[in-house]
Structure formats: C-alpha cells, structure tokens
Amino acid sequence: MKISAFSYIRNGFKYGYPFLQSIQSVLPLCDEFVIAVGDSEDGTKEAIKNLENAKIKIIDTIWDDNLRSGGRIFAQQSNIALGGISGDWAFHIQADEVLHEDDLFKIRTDMESANEEYHTEGLLFDFLNFHGSYSYLNNTRYQHRKEIRAFKNDLTVFSYRDSQGFRKYPSYEQYLSGHKGDKLRVKYIGVPIYHYSYVRNPKLMNYKSKHFETYWHEDKYVNEKYQSTEEFDYYKIARVKRFEGQHPAVMKDLVETGDWGFDPKKLSGKISIKDRILYWIEDKINHRIGEYKNYIQV
C-alpha cells in the first residue's frame, strides 16, 4: 500500500507558516510528498528543495487572482497537488498543520486496516486549534474540531469549498460546474492534527490575516477592516483552554521562541445566553450540539 501526501504553499516565510515543520512531520508516514508551490519571492521553494528528500515532488504554480472569492484558490492549489500523486491513499496536510511523531504508527495502521474495508473511504482526524499561544486552544463553537485528512485514491475526490475538506464527485467537469458532491464515508481514528493557524507574533498575524482575507473579500472591505491596527487582537474570542499535551518534536524551536505575552484573562469575546447554555451542556457531555459535519462517520 502506497501513501501519498500532498499540500500547497506560497510565500510561507513571508506569512509565518510552519510549512517546513509540516512537511517534515509527514515525510516518515508517506512514500511520496507532492506540493504545489505558488509563485513566491521569499525563498519558499528553495527551502523545500534544501530539505533534500527524494520523496518530495514540487509542482510550480501561478496563483490566479480571479479566484479570490470564497477561498477558491486554495481548493484549486490543493487539487493541483492531489492530481500529482500516485499512491493508494492520499494524505492532505496544510502548511499550518503538523503531525506528532508518536501518532504516525497508528495513522499507518489505521490506513492499512481501512484499506481492506470497502465501506470506509477515508479517515477522520481531531483538530487541536491553537490560538494566541502555543499553550492555548480555541475552545469556541466556531472552529472545526474534526476533518478528513486521508482518503482512498481510487475515488473521484476533490477539495470542497476552500480545501478545508473533501468530497467525491461524478466527474471533474461536474465538480467545476458546481456539483455539491457526496460526503465521504470515514472512520474516526482519534488522532489529532496540530493546527497552528492562529499562533504567530501579533504583528505578523495581522499581516497574514489581512492578506488571507483578500481571498474572501474585496480590497476595500479588507483595507477598512485593518486600517487602524498593526497587531492582531487575539482577545476577540470567547473561550480558550489550556493545552496539556506535548507539541511535535519538529515544532520545538518555534514553541520555545513563541512567547509574545498572550494572557487568557484578557479575553473580550461575548457569549450569548444561547451559547452559554450550549457550552454548559457540551462541557458536561463532551459533545458539540449541531456540529457541522462534512462527512459520514462509519
């Protein structure tokens, strides 16, 4: 059984992505790693090449600014990398996602087991969404807790919406025409993806966030939103919780140098009465009520 990992990146250093750590974390799991590298001016491609790993295959791409709305450019880049793999299984990892070395054996074992199960099309992972600090996690209802990151490569699967998840389609032509696709049947394996999207120096986070929003909104909206701030406000959130585990080994240097004074006591996000009731129930039963699921769990 051959495992192919795939990803995409553009200007990874410029926007503070831990993309090299991401790549290094998945290389021991996969037999090949295909990455779509967009036109960058910060040495991103050169850094990937300097990893000097024969598993890595780079596909050069040019980002189309006409695909700004709805984050469609991310799906396009993901699909380009996906189209370049040759494995029996596809493993998607984004540039701000990292695997823990202690979980690699379980992931491979679960893939091998699911490979023999006709009704299982993919694997469902937990997400540890770090926020503001390497010591805290987003604990609100408004960030995904689970998502598909591995699936069989004998299906007509493409990135759904902005590449957050995946669905299967009758054909690529129907995918492009707006077909909603079918949810994948997946097995939950209880392995976390370490997601570092909201962990950067506040100034760099503000810079990255402003750029990121241009792939969803018009320039006027983005410029007005960010015109009066130079640092990202990590405190506009209702809840965080302490991370009690250990970070992947490849993240050691970033974690040790990532102290910019995040204080969870300064959170300013408001919680509605409805959400207060839901949080109380969810904390008691460890289950999110009404959670969006882009998958069918088997």
- Encode pLDDT of 59-112 as tens digits: 999 998 777 777 889 999 999 999 999 999 999 999 999 999 999 999 999 999
The token duo for 284 is 């008691």
- The verdict on residue 232 lying in a domain is no
Q: What distances in angstroms separate CA 121 from CA 4, 86, 282, 295, one per listed residue?
A: 15, 17, 29, 10
Residue 276 has pLDDT above 80, yes or no: yes
Query: CA geometry: angle at 23 spanning 77 and 183, to 5°?
Result: 50
CATH number, domain of 46, equals: 3.90.550.10
pTM for the whole structure:
0.95
Residue 158 φ then ψ, to 5°: -140, 165
Residue 152 φ then ψ, to 5°: -70, 140
Give the range of the structural domain holding residue 69, as residue numbers without chain letter. 3-198
- The verdict on residue 275 lying in a domain is no
- The verdict on residue 95 lying in a domain is yes
- The verdict on residue 265 lying in a domain is no
- The verdict on residue 208 lying in a domain is no
- The verdict on residue 125 lying in a domain is yes
Question: Do the Cβ atoms of 170 and 156 come closer than 8 Å?
Answer: yes
AA letter at 96: D
Q: What average pLDDT does this structure show over 17-31?
A: 98
pLDDT in tens, 130-145: 999 999 999 998 888 9
Rounded Cα–Cα distance for residues 187 and 46 (Å): 37
Tokens 């590298």 found at: 37
Question: What is the reported pLDDT for 141?
Answer: 87
Q: How many domains does the chain have?
A: 1
Question: Do the Cβ atoms of 78 and 160 come closer than 8 Å?
Answer: no
Dihedral sign (CA 35, 74, 162, 208): positive
pLDDT in tens, 167-187: 999 999 999 998 999 999 999
pLDDT in tens, 183-218: 999 999 999 999 999 999 999 999 999 998 888 888
